[in-house]
Structure 1
């Protein structure tokens, strides 16, 4: 049997094993086996085939693997929509307490209630958005209000 056929069989076994494990590592070794099969197909000796396999495997593992892992593991969860408003700063436009008032969050007006229903937040107070319930922001002052 030709040595290039053996390398193709090794590449096939590694590729199949990759499909079962989904680690991405075995795929890189399968590509290295294909490089060795190419060298064998050119009629070069076993020493050069093993060298091609080793060099390609090392290059794939040190250069390709970190980049691929970074892309496969995903990016930080991006908050969009109303979830992106949580934690933002707002300014109270009309007093907020148990009854809804209005706040300005990033240039948009929202209805808002105080996160603490017993607290009345006066207009002009800077607040943090703690949660969103429907179309109403639940807010709390950034600093405790001065007692009257």
Structure 2
């Protein structure tokens, strides 16, 4: 089965508006490793990060959100964001979507700072957004189980 890919188009006004990028999700093993490294780097900073549980992997990163990077040393933050951005390619010619530029080459084609932040957010969301849906599902199940436990016990036959 192929890794999930999304194509995003830069929405910001300016030179980069309309530029297309393909973001490919990391393998589950790579994403988990990346998530654990993010959590470790954030925890090592000593900052209190809401929702962060040590060893939670990618689920912990999702709970903390993209702001997790603010708690890290600049060097470690750059390393982890660079790893994330290896999943991004640019489509220089939308008429020829088979031709893409890897992240190293695509960087030279991005002309505006907001585009970089937007791409980081899009890549982050691709890797962690499914946890938000799972979290809602678990909340619903917990609610349902809680409701069921408050229900009266079935009447026994006498």
Structure exhibiting the larger radius of gyration computed from Cα positions: 1
- TM-score, with length taken from structure 1: 0.31
- TM-score, with length taken from structure 2: 0.30
Q: Which has the higher strand share?
A: 1
Instruction: Determine which structure has greater relative contact order: mean sequence separation of CA pairs < 8 Å that are 6+ residues apart, divided by chain length.
Output: 2
